[in-house]
Chains A and B, each alone.
Chain A
């Protein structure tokens, strides 16, 4: 019998994080010990936007999907078309239950013909296994077998190239290549959660330490920093990406009706492909498209500088009218110099350009203050610099 590990697991980069950590602020992510912030979340954030930030994403759940029906299986599982995803490409998608509600989102890596890796924040082995009934496909949870490191920021390409990675100059966004670093095989994908130029490195846990060391050695002069989840979260909001548990709850975890969200309600219409063969949630989504959705995800540009955490959203400044939704993620964005938020509002509200109002609460010397702030619905991410797409990226 295999021994069941008791207590929190350590990622292959744990020792490296311990070495740079000064705050000792950690939490659990998928059973692994991960760092909130090794020294200063603000400085870590600026490493993402101005230099190179290194984030340990090893706890991310990684499922390997192989077999003759792998492509067809994924096409039935997720809402987007997987058959158009060529080998060497990565695609973002969501998957739904039979009511067309989102269970989770994740990225699908087409590693080589018929060989896929699906990465997701949540655990889905049971759902994936059920969905495999009737398909000639094998699904392995390789979370512990693959160490993963996000190397993000404007100087990330230069740092990685200096470290000795080859071939990154022609790697386009959402592309992946197999390469090596001093004889250690590494898969590099141009993906990330920061909305900026960045890469994710996938390697064997045994090689993790050596590769980390080499990258930090190469990045020393360009401000490379290890970062924790706090800094990443801020960059995630700026990039306008969804976080499961915040922007939506996994449909299989909600109890009350109406608490889950469809892809349409999350602004992911472009991910729902009705031209491909059947997929989970298709009938319900077609019906929703016909009847209209209830909710809409909004990106808000809010007046003032007080983050609108947990704020109710109103259609007018006066709060006489009942609210139309609430904020799900909020932050003051240093790079945009804007007070930004993601929220969910009842349709027909939430179309780009609409002016809404948020009720912001903040505490000042024990006493709570409340103020109404104007919130403009904007389209697209708050932060999307051209450099994130530039191939080859600019050197530093």
Chain B
């Protein structure tokens, strides 16, 4: 059974259809890419998966549990975490605190414990801190934990964001254009990191990415979205030779040439 299963998901905004009866799945422990021209609805699909948008039709299931009527924080608790196309770290909070904030839905000490700072709360606070630091080390950030997160170099901020998503202890990690703005060296590191997230933590990864060579290298399956319709699904080799996909991308290039 698939970890994530979307069936017939349709989403409209003010009458214009953004997603049209999309069927899509991510097997447990897989690395899957979602590609497609700009404006194809990829980020909208992410927003449907995280419970941020409510599709008018269809079903979204994680591990067999319907998430459509859940609030975003409940979906996160169920096991889906994401990063953003343009990095969105919490301003005025340190690197470590950003990652600690990601553990909110996994910590059990209640408000009363926190107000009174009972021993259980202190222990949990220490455990939260340790786990945050472990997540930071995992993504390769071993220093600067007390710096304000938004003052870090861009490539580091991207990794802090991945660490924060890992801190929510997801089963499925959604990465929205994780390679955007990275140098080629940083892209190599990212490929290694995505592999380790799956291999060492057993977390399935779903990414939106425009860097085609990166997508072809790390994906086990690729899905192609065009104008809100899923036009192809398959292995990287199958996608590269798929006629519909070639047309979709060529169409866009022609549009681009008109400019």
Instruction: Tell whether A and B belong to one assembly.
Output: no
Question: Which residues of B line the A interface, CB within 8 A?
Answer: none
